[in-house]
Amino acid sequence: MIIAVASGKGGTGKTTVTAALAANWKTPVAAVDLDVEEPNLHLFLHPSITGTEKGYIEIPEADERMCTSCGACAELCQFKAIALIGDTLLTFPEMCHGCGGCIAVCPTGALTESSRELGELCHGTSGDIAFHMGRLRIGEAMCPPLMKLVKNEVFSSYENDSRDVILDSPPGASCPAICAVADADCVVLVTEPTPFGFYDFKIAYEAFSVFNKPTGVVVNKAGIGDMQVYAFCEEHNIPIWAEIPYDRGIAEAYSMGSVITEAVPSLKPVFEELTRSIQESVHA
């Protein structure tokens, strides 16, 4: 089972929920930080990192001597990462998504595979929890290609065992968040019951609901704000799977990099119930 923990915006407690969910999961589990721009799940799970490697994307390299300026590559590239200005072929490696289409259509073999470093992939363990994360290279603008490398590593590692996978998704509802949610069997949407939280929650829900996956909500800092999130969930038949109260002990645990259920044991039943709801929604 693959669970994506997502949120409409940063700072809502998505990583806190991922860490506590992984720490309280009763069967073998992998916790994966797909927030490659700003990974911080490791700050809570404190994993021992056992392996690190660089991740690359394949980009085209042009041999101008073989180029006939036919324009086929520039016409194909929807990302404008390769362009023909007059007879001059220009490539913009930082805009390339590595689809390989231009290399495939080039009739003269003027384009060959080169590579661009995206960042690094790390894996390790935190107690019984398998841990994976990606970290984008400084200056690299695109998250999804590195996220895909992390996901490939994770999914190939566990395709033949029963380990469940919890993905800590990037915040928001744009390409990186969609990239994380797309492979999940179920989506846990973390939000705060404030007007700003509700605004972003709605956008995220609308973006993710096109996948038609089982989705439930975790209301973090329950007790502050207003009831808009609750009213929206009732209207759209979205279950509230857990409420985490606004509590000083939880805030302190967070600031000290602790798993909240270890610092505040009264939260354990909340996460046990959340786990049950997730499992029931997937197996329904």
Report the nearest approach of ligand SF4 to the CB of residue 114 (Å).
10
Contact between 4 and ligand SF4 (CB under 6 A)? no
Q: Is residue 97 at the binding interface for ligand SF4, with CB under 6 A as the rule? A: yes
**CB 92 to ligand SF4: min, Å:** 8
148 or 213: CB nearest ligand SF4 = 148
CA distances from residue 88 to 71, 112, 187 in whole angstroms, order as listed:
10, 17, 47
Binding mask of the shown chain, residues 35 to 64, with x at each position contacting ligand SF4 by CB under 6 A: ------------------------xx-x--
Q: At its nearest, how many Å lie between ligand SF4 and the CB of residue 142? A: 10
Burial class (CB in 10 A: 0-12, 13-18, 19+), 128: exposed
Using the contact rule CB under 6 A, the part of the chain among 47-55, 69-77, 114-122, 232-240 near ligand SF4 is: 69-77
Q: Is 79 in the site for ligand SF4 (CB under 6 A)?
A: yes
Dist. CA 163–CA 210, nearest whole Å: 27
| Per-position x/- string for 152-181, each x denoting binding to ligand SF4 as judged by CB under 6 A, each - no binding | ------------------------------
Do the strands 240-245 and 48-62 form a parallel or antiparallel pair, or are they unpaired? Answer: unpaired
Q: Which stretch binds ligand SF4 (CB under 6 A): 75-83, 112-120, 162-170, 241-249?
A: 75-83
Q: Is 250 in the site for ligand SF4 (CB under 6 A)?
A: no
Amino acid letter, residue 132? H
| Site stretch for ligand SF4 (CB under 6 A), options 4-12, 100-108, 156-164, 178-186 | 100-108
* Residue 83 found at the interface with ligand SF4 (CB under 6 A): no
Q: List interacting residues with ligand SF4 (CB under 6 A).
A: 59-60, 62, 67-73, 76-77, 79, 81-82, 84, 89, 96-102, 105-106, 108, 110-111
